[in-house]
Amino acid sequence: MVRFLEKSEFGRTVPLFEQCFGKDPEFEAEYYGDDVHAGEVFKGRIAVLEEDGRILSMVHLKPVLAEYGPAESVPEDCAVKRPGGTTAAEETELPVTYLLCIATDPACRHRGYMDRVMDLAEETLRSEGSPWCFLVAVDKEIYRHRGYVYDWPFRDEERELLAAEDDLSDCSAKLLNAEGFRPPAALKNSKGESGE
């Protein structure tokens, strides 16, 4: 079954997290907290594929604010205005979703489980009106077939916020609702063309 977990079930993802990403007590304490309600994970959602009560594949969805560009280029209903308002020349932030902790039990890979979980996550975001989402991948080619063809360079503060490795300079983004939405100029597709 593919579904979103209830917040009270988030702790059930720890075994798969450790199996796929290793045990890192410091990161787990920050991300999952002493109890799930105290950690960063509680700010988002988790989509999973489970069988017989075991979580075999997952993706975490974390809402973040992205630097978008000049305020006049942001759809009015999408922009998050900074305190004091913005002018056309200032940067505007846009709420987007960061997909992270994308994992499948190694014994269950190459069965399409991740695609099913990603389908649920992306369709949900699309139906909610999200213009785009992104992920940080060591190997971008793994996600190109799913439409993650835009490379979004991030700044040092973003790298820290996203817990990205120092040698990673950008993430991969996918447009979900392109109608009436102009991608941020910083987005470059896999051919190096601007999102504009």
Structural tokens at position 196: 């504009």
Calpha distance 39→193 (Å, rounded): 38
53 Cβ contact list (under 8 Å, min separation 6): none
Structural tokens at position 192: 């190096």
Q: Give me the residue spans of the domains in the chain.
A: 2-189
Structural tokens at position 85: 């308002």
Neighbour-count burial of 184, counting CB atoms closer than 10 A to its CB (0-12 exposed, 13-18 middle, 19+ buried): buried
**pTM here?**
0.78
Calpha distance 74→176 (Å, rounded): 16
Amino acid at 73: S
- The model's pLDDT over 122-175, given as tens digits with 9 standing for 90+, comes to 999 999 988 889 888 878 888 999 998 888 776 665 556 555 555 666 778 888
- The model's pLDDT over 183-193, given as tens digits with 9 standing for 90+, comes to 555 555 555 55
Q: What is the CATH class of 2-189?
A: alpha beta
Q: Identify the pLDDT of residue 132.
A: 84
SS3 category, 184: coil
- The model's pLDDT over 84-135, given as tens digits with 9 standing for 90+, comes to 444 434 456 677 899 999 999 999 999 999 999 999 999 999 999 888 898 8
What are the C-alpha distances in Å from 182 to residues 20, 48, 88, 171, 187? 36, 31, 16, 18, 10
